[in-house]
Structure 1
């Protein structure tokens, strides 16, 4: 990542971290409470301050490590987000619900990335944090806690700084807000004198999030109480429309459409769908549970019957903010991006802008040639149809709404992880 690109966002980082405006040409930068967060290290007064943070994203389909490098020059200069080192492993922690030691070992292996990235002298003052999302939220509490305890043991045996509450399950609301913070920071929209921000759509395996800053007070007034959250940042209180739908992530939606979510007798039941190729039949696992699934033997297949199946997964469940029927700017990532790449809608390196109608059009095309995709991507019809249904019938976007599909902005992953790192370094006071 070039310094020129990074400096486009540096004012956002300054504001986020609590800078005080002293003069027009001079700023005093602080990380409030930083001395209480990180162990003190001796440095020459004129040395650049380089510090690191390690954030684990324990999702339903994989565990990811983000190692961030920040630079603060001499006092009075602004810090720079210098670099992100990213790596992931599959499956997610929830797949080890019955073997938590193996789940802890995946985290242990990823910590090697942090050891290679962070200089040895900085290990003891580099915080390591793990936040789990829908995969663990969907597990029985006892199994989820057993996994978290294994991670704590792995952290404790590591050479890194382990702060209080270093391992926990993230609230779905915080997940959406912190993803919003990440994207708006990386796109340069977080300024203390501007509320010209972008919305975010995150589609994981177990849950999906929508977060945006409403332009109309009516959006807040009409929203259910648990769809509105406030947080304070650089002396500004943001009131966001945000909600996380547990069970409406891409993988969980497959199970819901199949009628397998929460079902019993999995050892003998076969769950079928008109969204799958007729001759398709296999064992499929999610969250450590294996299901027998197949296409329909008799009956219709294709986009139309598949769409009817997906309607049952979102109708009456997903709230529709009236404001989304107007012109809005949204960044969509995670499975929105991945499946759009798989369907040939966008380039896997560059990403791109698509309209909601483009998902519908490509879903129809994919569903019409399911038999050809049976061995390559048997779920593509189901997934593209679900995304179309979620956007149109769930959130209520117009077909002409443009979405920016992206995996990275300025070479940094578009997820909640960077926002969660900021939240750790300086509590954003979400309420």
Structure 2
């Protein structure tokens, strides 16, 4: 998956106010494929309770910051443009009390340390010259565990399940460019007992309750990174002269494709076969032995799937691009077969759709182990708020969830 960078600017009133207080909190997120800003307005009536979310302003710019690995000043330019949006949204009197925070995700995790740091330094410089409040540690790379947990917090906050009495929660499946996350609240002890290593379980505290979640982030299994791995280009040398072939691409297709600041020559296999079965064997190598299958997925609560799960379902005509919808895992499989069988007829419209849909099918079935009849809620927004970890990051900033 491409890098997911998120910045969180939050405006809030420092002085306690009698009765409900409005407060704006802006979060900016930049992934490998886009940089985004969220401005949330909350109503806080009681510091012991979760605030009420009044509304959200959201704006996105392409590409993500990791695309500027070799020209970090362009990353600074992107962040300046998004801060302009924040200035228009947050009242001027609140600027100096509005914290601005950026959290980078998989796009920057996939870069070398020095290139990632150069990008973060540029963002820090832009923050320091802005009129907003810049807290300590305002620009950093967030680990995958936090990304999964904060997305879970966001979705369960928006669906009304985030309280101490909660018996029913929703799981989350997030597919970015550079990494993919799964997080849910296990009902069965065996789910926790059968994890491969300890870091598949994480806890966080909120309002005197501790939630123990099954969560994992797979770096390199986001959609864009998975394309590279399928093509055999993830650790390849000689990008200047090599062409990477795949039976997941139309046979006559040849083009250049860029990700993470590098450009690759890619093509179908003109002398071989193409289609779903061969493609599935290619993407299976990216999934098998890497993705752990949680014990209880067969009868778990509802899972919300977003980011590229949603985008590709829209591209394939499975769901409406505004409304989203419920899909079974077998719907991805059926559509993947259809797209792969037809790709020769219109190879240039969406040349990667066969590969992407096949990978999503394989990730859900052979990766996480969902049954074909499992129903997923595909969504971009819940109650008119973007489904992402940005809201969770905002709540963490104000309530210190103590993720451990």
For the criterion TM > 0.5, the same-fold answer is yes
Question: 1:392-411 alignment to 2 at 5 Å?
Answer: 392-411=365-384
Are 2:124 and 1:152 equivalent residues in the alignment? Answer: yes
Which ranges of structure 1 fall in alignment gaps of 5 or more residues?
1-33
Tell me if the contact between 2:48 and 2:207 (Cα under 8 Å) persists in the aligned partners: no
Task: Please state whether the residue corresponding to 1:109 is helix, strand or coil.
Answer: helix
> Counterpart of 2:344 in 1: which secondary structure?
helix
> Kindly tell me: are residues 48 and 207 of structure 1, through their superposed partners in 2, closer, same or farther at Cα, counting changes over 3 Å?
same
Q: What is the aligned partner in structure 2 of residue 138 from structure 1? A: 110
- Could you list the runs of 5+ residues in structure 2 that have no partner in the other structure? 1-9
**What corresponds to 1:51 in structure 2?**
23
Q: Structure 2 CA distance, aligned partners of 1:128 and 1:147?
A: 16
CA offset digits 1:3-47 (Å, max 9, x no partner)? xxxxxxxxxxxxxxxxxxxxxxxxxxxxxxx9xx96745x8x657
Structure-to-structure mapping, 1:343-362, within 5 angstroms: 343-362=316-335
Would the aligned equivalents of 2:203 and 2:210 in 1 still touch at CA under 8 Å?
Answer: yes
SS at match of 2:186: coil
Distance in structure 2 (CA, Å) of the matches to 1:232 and 1:300: 53
Residue pair 2:203, 2:213 contacting (<8 A) in 1 also = yes
Change (3 A) 1:303 1:100: same
User: Structure 1 residues 97, 361: CA separation in 2 closer, same or farther (over 3 Å shift)?
Assistant: same
* 2:31 and 2:107 in contact (8 A); partners too: yes
The correspondence of residues 22-171 of structure 1 with structure 2, limited to 5 A, is 40=14, 48-72=20-44, 79-171=51-143
Aligned CA distance change for structure 1 residues 179 and 280 (closer, same or farther; 3 Å): same
Question: Displacement, 1:73?
Answer: 5.1
Q: Single out whichever of 320-329 and 164-173 deviates more from structure 2.
A: 320-329
Picking from 139, 144, 151, the partner of 1:172 is 144
Cα 1:69–1:280 shift into 2, 3 Å? same
Residue 318 of structure 1 is aligned with which of 280, 291, 301? 291
Structure whose CA Rg is larger? 1
User: Could you say which residue in structure 2 is the equivalent of 1:182?
Assistant: 154
The structural deviation recorded for 1:78 is 7.7
Q: Secondary structure at the match of 1:372?
A: coil
Calculate the TM-score normalised by the size of structure 2: 0.94
Aligned pairs for 1:284-295 (under 5 A) are 284-295=257-268
3-state SS, counterpart of residue 296 of structure 2: helix
Residue 184 of structure 2: aligned partner:
212
Number of residue pairs the alignment of both structures matches:
394
Q: Deviations over 1:133-192 (max 9, x none)?
A: 000000000000010010011111111111111111000000000000000010111121
Residues of 2 paired with 1:80 and 1:386: CA distance?
Answer: 38
**In structure 1, distance between residues paired with 2:323 and 2:336:** 21
Give the counterpart of 1:274 among 235, 247, 256.
247
Specify which of 168, 171, 174 is matched with residue 199 of structure 1: 171
Counterpart secondary structure, 1:333: strand
Deviations 1:339-361 (A, max 9, x none): 00000100001000000000000
Partners in 2 of 1:261 and 1:153 — Cα distance?
32
Relative to 1, partners in 2 of residues 1:357 and 1:124: Cα closer, same or farther, differing over 3 Å? Answer: same
